[in-house]
Amino acid sequence: MNDLEPQIAIPHEVDNVSGVGAVAGTPLDQVFIGSCTNGRFEDLEIVAKILNGKKVKVRTIVLPASRSVLLRATESGIISTL
């Protein structure tokens, strides 16, 4: 499973996915992180590590998968990073 390239959903369907390398360099208007697809605590933790200390340049929406994920991410500082 470690050989799988990170995946990205391409509009307009959540199951329209591609490896990030296939869309590298494509301009973004908006980023959505979360819901049931990638809103688990572990997913948010990875995004926070990537974005820590950086400023996003496009509208970015973060939606944890559940209230318990939101609370855990808030308590761990992930939400403030995002």
| pLDDT tens per residue, range 8-48 | 888 888 788 899 899 999 998 988 888 776 789 999 999 99
CA trace torsion 33, 39, 41, 46 (10° rounding): -30
As a whole number of angstroms, the longest Cα–Cα distance in the chain is 35
pLDDT at 5 over 90: no
**What is this structure's pTM?**
0.75
Residue 15 included in any domain: no
Residue 57 included in any domain: yes
Indicate if the alpha-carbon torsion angle 19, 52, 67, 2 is positive or negative.
positive
Please count the structural domains in the chain. Answer: 1
Mind listing the pLDDT tens digit for each residue in 51-64? 999 998 999 999 99
Residue 41 included in any domain: yes
Residue 20 included in any domain: no
According to the model, what pLDDT value does residue 37 have? 66
Residue-range definition of the domain harbouring residue 37: 27-81
Q: CATH number for the domain including 55?
A: 3.30.499.10
